[in-house]
């Protein structure tokens, strides 16, 4: 099968890795929520050999993730788990690290809230959750392009950009340890349990 390729993943993988290398350095098992094409997973697994990288997504994305994994020499990456927020229970993995990229604004607000809550419940004490994507700050867009992007998302039936303050409320039990400005008007939020 020919693999799907995301130029956005290619563009942001290095800046994200620079942050994950800091925040996941003492972790052993990382669960990626919404592995998408699988590009991030194979890249991060190859760069952080101390971690076992667990992929997850909706079943329709599994074949593509598996195609990327099949071409990766890394042995620290697992086949995708079926995990859809609001439908599936938390995977049976003791993950001390959780990562998600560009999922929060795709989810409906109720699903984004469920994701924050379920991570807070299942992350062990000392665990880390890194959340990447475009977000609003204090009820405001950080750029005109994010305003347009949010409008387009909502027109397509997606949930749209969430506000960081709202995520803090939903992530009760986790502390927002860092809010890192990233390229292309994105953030990487670092949550600790």
Quick check: 147 and 134 in contact, CB under 8 A? no
**CA geometry: angle at 147 spanning 143 and 151, to 5°?**
165
Say what percent of the chain tops pLDDT 70.
99
Q: Which fold has domain 7-192?
A: Rossmann fold (3.40.50)
Phi/psi zone of residue 129: left (φ > 0), alpha (ψ -120 to 50 degrees), beta?
A: beta
pLDDT at position 159 is 96
Helix (H) or strand (E) holding 19: helix 7-23
Range from 8-12, 25-29, 82-86 carrying the lowest mean pLDDT: 8-12
pLDDT at 9: 82
Nearest to 174 by CA among 192, 149, 154, 156: 192
What does pTM read for this prediction? 0.96
Neighbours of 145 (CB within 10 A): 12
User: What phi and psi, each to the nearest 5 degrees, are found at residue 132?
Assistant: -115, 145
pLDDT at 1 over 60: no
**Can you tell me whether residue 54 is helix, strand or coil?**
strand
Return the exposure string of 60-70: e unless at least 16 CB atoms fall within 10 Å of the residue's CB, then b: ebbebbbebbe
Domain range list for the chain: 7-192
């Amino acid at each position: 099968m020919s693999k799907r390729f995301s130029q956005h993943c290619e563009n942001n993988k290095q800046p994200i890795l620079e942050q994950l290398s800091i925040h996941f350095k003492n972790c052993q098992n990382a669960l990626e929520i919404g592995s998408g094409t699988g590009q991030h997973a194979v890249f991060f697994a190859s760069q952080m050999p101390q971690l076992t990288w667990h992929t997850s997504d909706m079943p329709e994305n599994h074949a593509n993730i598996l195609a990327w994994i099949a071409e990766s020499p890394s042995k620290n990456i697992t086949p995708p788990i079926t995990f859809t927020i609001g439908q599936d229970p938390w995977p049976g993995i003791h993950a001390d690290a959780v990562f998600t990229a560009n999922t929060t604004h795709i989810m409906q607000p109720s699903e984004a809230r469920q994701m924050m809550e379920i991570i807070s419940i299942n992350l062990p004490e000392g665990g880390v959750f890194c959340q990447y994507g475009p977000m609003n700050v204090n009820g405001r867009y950080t750029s005109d392009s994010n305003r347009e992007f949010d409008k387009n998302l909502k027109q397509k039936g997606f949930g749209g950009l969430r506000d960081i303050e709202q995520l803090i409320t939903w992530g009760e039990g986790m502390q927002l340890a860092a809010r890192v400005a990233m390229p292309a008007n994105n953030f990487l939020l670092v949550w600790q349990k």
